[in-house]
Amino acid sequence: MQLTQLHDQTWVIQGGANIGVIAHEDRCLIIDSGMDKDTGREILNQVKKLGLTPTALLVTHAHADHFGGAHYLVRQTGLKVYATRVEAAVMSGPILEPLYLFSGAQPPRELQHKFLLAKPCLVDTVLAGNEQTVDHIPLQVVSLPGHSIEQVGVAFGNTLFIGDAFLTPEILDKHRIPFYTDIQTGLTTLTTLKKQIASFKHIVAGHGEIYTSVERANGAIEYTVKRLEDILENVRAALADGDARPMTDLLRTVADAQGVNIETLSQYVLCNTTVQSAVSTLYMRGEINPLFQHNFLAWQRTR
Ligand SMILES: [Zn+2]
């Protein structure tokens, strides 16, 4: 993992996920904890090199690749953990992540690997999502729901940490269907974020490059918006002939259109959640309706 200094008091540890470090006197706040014990250990090594004592961890959202290392960090240092309410619930009961992905039913073994099931970590302080200090460090917690239901980011000085609110074009091109639990809210978040980033010098997404140019970050936001709008459009197109179709057909249509070849249960449930969220968005907008026939749920356009 690579340590990059952004400012006097701000660093990013770049690896599978980007970890933020904000120093305050001789202690520091860590933003996200990576996937597992190994990442946790690496974070502690890097922070030690800076001569800082980690006293707080803020988790942007409860996906295993962002909080999996928290269990280890707490055990090693006793640092205090901060997260919003729903994310905190998943962190304290991590089975909830594969459980919700599998529609609330006992998730099969294939969904209980470290990418989807992290070790538990209790949250000490539940964030409202608009705090101006964390662990007595002046900063701004920013609400960024969409990718995850109560995701937050952190603004500190000229740096903005945004979790997975937008994804880099490289990652979007790789995964094709980005994971989103709430596309409707996510699109609003991205519109707001476009205005917010103008005043920052560094924009740190949860994965990939650190943006030092507002134009490039804007490009990534626009690309994320486009992918989400495309998925909504794929669902509309699938229902354009007026026939009612089940979720399975809609998922297949979106996957075909996006060039995704689903081959594993993990990939299936992740893509399915995003498409389900597209269906939910279109239903909320009054564009489609559920139709029940012979114990069969299908979706049909309303106009
Ligand atoms: Zn995530």
Residue 138 in domain: yes
Same domain, 139 and 23: yes
Q: Which has the closest alpha carbon to 47: 29, 32, 62? A: 29
CA of 300 to the centre of ligand 1 (A): 31
Residue 294 in domain: yes
CA of 240 to the centre of ligand 1 (A): 32
**What pLDDT was estimated at residue 1?**
85
Residues near 65 by Cβ (< 8 Å), separated by ≥ 6? Answer: 16, 17, 34, 35, 115
Same domain, 157 and 262: no
Distances (CA, A) of 277 to 68, 82, 251: 25, 27, 11
Residue ranges with CB less than 5 Å from ion ligand 1: 63, 164
- Indicate the residue among 165, 180, 202 that finishes a domain: 165
CA of 296 to the centre of ligand 1 (A): 32
Same domain, 156 and 263: no
- Give the pTM: 0.96
> Which segments in the chain show pLDDT lower than 70?
none
Same domain, 8 and 115: yes
**What pLDDT was estimated at residue 140?**
98
Residue 270 in domain: yes
CA of 197 to the centre of ligand 1 (A): 20
Q: What are 40's two structure tokens? A: 């946790």
**What pLDDT was estimated at residue 161?**
98
Give residue 109's identity as a one-letter amino acid code: R
CA of 301 to the centre of ligand 1 (A): 31
CA of 130 to the centre of ligand 1 (A): 20
Distances (CA, A) of 8 to 25, 44, 127: 11, 19, 26
Residue 113 in domain: yes
CA of 31 to the centre of ligand 1 (A): 13
**What pLDDT was estimated at residue 293?**
87
- CATH code of the domain containing 259: 1.10.10
- CATH code of the domain containing 126: 3.60.15.10
Q: Which has the closest alpha carbon to 96: 120, 72, 68? A: 120
CA of 178 to the centre of ligand 1 (A): 10
Same domain, 144 and 250: no
Same domain, 158 and 59: yes
Range of the domain at 49: 2-165
- Indicate the residue among 141, 165, 189 that finishes a domain: 165
Residue 177 in domain: no
Residue 36 in domain: yes
- Indicate the residue among 165, 200, 227 that finishes a domain: 165
Same domain, 26 and 128: yes
**CA count, 13 A, side-chain hemisphere, 147:** 26
CA of 123 to the centre of ligand 1 (A): 18
Same domain, 136 and 18: yes
Asked whether the beta carbons of 265 and 111 are under 8 A apart, the reply is yes
Residue 153 in domain: yes
Residue 183 in domain: no
Same domain, 252 and 141: no
Give residue 118's identity as a one-letter amino acid code: A
173-201 pLDDT tens trace = 999 999 999 999 999 999 999 999 999 99
CA of 148 to the centre of ligand 1 (A): 7
CA of 166 to the centre of ligand 1 (A): 10
CA of 72 to the centre of ligand 1 (A): 20
**What pLDDT was estimated at residue 233?**
98
State how far Cα 196 lies from the chain centre. 18
Same domain, 9 and 153: yes
CA of 206 to the centre of ligand 1 (A): 8
CA of 66 to the centre of ligand 1 (A): 7
**3-state DSSP of the chain:** CEEEEEECCEEEEECCCEEEEEEECCEEEEECCCCCHHHHHHHHHHHHHCCCEEEEEECCCCCHHHHCCHHHHHHHHCCEEEEEHHHHHHHHCCCHHHHHHCCCCCCCHHHCCCCCCCCCCCCCEEECCCCCEECCEECEEEECCCCCCCCEEEEECCEEECCCCCCCHHHHHHHCCCCCCCHHHHHHHHHHHHHHHHHCCEEECCCCCEECCHHHHHHHHHHHHHHHHHHHHHHHHHCCCCCCECHHHHHHHHHHHHCCCCCCHHHHHHHHHHHHHHHHHHHHCCCEEEEEECCEEEEEECC
Domain count, the chain: 2
Same domain, 157 and 250: no
Q: What's the rounded Cα separation, in Å, for the pair 64 and 128? A: 21
Asked whether the beta carbons of 290 and 283 are under 8 A apart, the reply is yes
